[in-house]
Amino acid sequence: MDELEHLSSLISGITLTVIRLIELNLQVLNFQALYIRKRKSLVHRLLALEPPIKKICHLQGSLEEPESSPKKPQAQIVPLIHLSEPQDDWWEKFVSGFTLPEEWLKHFRMTQMTFRILTDELRPYLISSDETAIIKDPAKQMALTLYTLTQNISMMESGLLFGVSQNSVVNIVKKVCKAISLHLGPKYLKWPSDQNEVEELVRCFEREHGFPQCIGAIDNFFIQTRRSNSKFLNSLGFYSLNIQAICDYKYCFMDVMADSPGSVHVAEIFFNSSINKSFMSGNVSSFSRKLIPNTRPVPILLIGDSCYPLMPHLMIEYPLGGSNEKEKHFGSILRKAKEVIRCALYRLKARFRFLGRSADIPITDLPSLIRACFILHNVCEMFGQPIQENSDLRKCEEARKRLNSSHVQVISSAIQEGENIREVLSNYFMGTQGGPMNL
């Protein structure tokens, strides 16, 4: 009898243990199912690309931004429509099925035709003979790179979308951006070397923006980086690169310096730049023009903010905006003409939202990615790609830099010559009758 009771007790214990194990397995399965559901929900939220559109703008339209925000004349703004959100195998479905033109603009900031043109140009440099390559298809490499640069998401989130790891995203984006810089840069982002091209740019700038002898406008902005040494700590208190850019009359960039630490003043960056050295040596152009009879000829020049040094080839406003009507009128015309660079940067950042967030790659790899964004911007402008409205459009200028008070020493003779040129331009703008000219 005792043996039966013992056996019964043993069987009951085993039964309870089995039941407990089954309950634990069910809990694990429920937890896994809950994790998968939450992961999908999180991915979908992270990959939400655009907020609801607030206003549809067409030709001659407005983005409801402050009056001081720059606008490109006749800039076409394409309204967004309700599009399906990306999934893990999104790219394969995207290229294999029917896609609307708006979807290409939303995800890549360019049309399908422009995407194919660029992919074909880069194909020889993206094809890999490595059998272990994560993504062999050049089109998918290009799509991954464009998506990462144009959307406000991290490398990890971009990898979730294309089914690769964060490290793979970094390596592919670096590879494609290097190819863009080396093989598309000389074609789409270059300083004019032909005399006729230089003179044409100068004439068009005066026609469009009212400033004679100007080939382009210059400006700088910060791109936030990972924490680094103190030389990258800028005047706003965060680690960054200080980017110098020069654009022409049609919002395309002609020169970019993307490797200066954030602590370096814009005047020092320009003074040490190859463009300044080319101006100083006379290699840019010898095309000078007499604006007023019996006065010195005015050389080809750039225009910029007062944080830059005044030089014969770089015009800035008079101190404090000018002390008389002539000087204030000069400043008014210069500020109006200088809007072209603010508008160009505004459009650049609207297309490539990577430039507006803290970069999640090493500083040493950043210049290549930044330069690729400028090159691709020029491609979009040259191919007439419209800009879609998004919430970051109004934020592009909110982080305008607070300039530090440091300066570089500029040769006094260059300053004096710059003052002489500025005086000639001021007299030219006032006109021979002592009143503002109608430009």
Q: What is the DSSP string of 275-342?
A: HHHHHHHT-S----B-SSTTSPPBPPEEE--TTSPPBTTEE-PPGGG-SSHHHHHHHHHHHHHHHHHH
Q: Is residue 236 in some structural domain?
A: yes
What is the C-alpha to C-alpha distance for residues 303 and 317, in angstroms, rounded to an integer? 9
Domain of 338, in residue numbers:
195-360+391-430
Confidence of residue 402 (pLDDT cuts 50, 70, 90): very low
Asked if residue 4 has pLDDT above 70, the reply is no
For 309, phi and psi rounded to 5 degrees?
-75, 140
Percent of the chain at pLDDT above 70? 69
Q: Is residue 196 a contact partner of residue 203, using CB atoms and an 8 Å limit?
A: no
Among the three residues 167, 188, 209, which one is the final residue of a domain in this structure? Answer: 188
Q: Is residue 94 in some structural domain?
A: yes
The pLDDT mean for the chain works out to 78
Query: Both 315 and 338 in a single domain?
Result: yes
Query: Both 420 and 404 in a single domain?
Result: yes
| pLDDT of 397 | 41
Q: Is residue 64 in some structural domain?
A: no
Most confident of 6-15, 179-188, 353-362, 398-407: 179-188
| pLDDT of 128 | 77
Query: Both 153 and 170 in a single domain?
Result: yes
Among the three residues 157, 188, 219, which one is the final residue of a domain in this structure? Answer: 188
| pLDDT of 90 | 72
Asked if residue 63 has pLDDT above 50, the reply is no
Q: Is residue 382 in some structural domain?
A: no
Q: Is residue 345 a contact partner of residue 144, using CB atoms and an 8 Å limit?
A: no
Question: Half-sphere exposure of residue 2, counting CA atoms within 13 Å on the CB side?
Answer: 0
Q: Is residue 47 in some structural domain?
A: no
Asked if residue 11 has pLDDT above 90, the reply is no
Asked if residue 73 has pLDDT above 80, the reply is no
| pLDDT of 391 | 43
Query: Both 199 and 284 in a single domain?
Result: yes
Q: Is residue 234 in some structural domain?
A: yes
Query: Both 99 and 215 in a single domain?
Result: no
Query: Both 264 and 130 in a single domain?
Result: no
Query: Both 272 and 235 in a single domain?
Result: yes
Number of domains in the chain: 2
Among the three residues 151, 170, 188, which one is the final residue of a domain in this structure? Answer: 188
Nearest residue to 425 (alpha-carbon basis) of 322, 309, 352, 341: 322
Q: Is residue 40 in some structural domain?
A: no
Mean pLDDT of the 167-174 span: 92
Mean pLDDT of the 93-102 span: 75
Query: Both 270 and 341 in a single domain?
Result: yes
Is residue 254 classed as helix, strand or coil in its secondary structure?
A: strand
Query: Both 320 and 222 in a single domain?
Result: yes
Query: Both 158 and 206 in a single domain?
Result: no
Percent of the chain at pLDDT above 90? 46
Q: Is residue 345 in some structural domain?
A: yes
Query: Both 119 and 230 in a single domain?
Result: no
Q: Is residue 308 a contact partner of residue 269, using CB atoms and an 8 Å limit?
A: no
Query: Both 199 and 259 in a single domain?
Result: yes
Asked if residue 108 has pLDDT above 70, the reply is yes
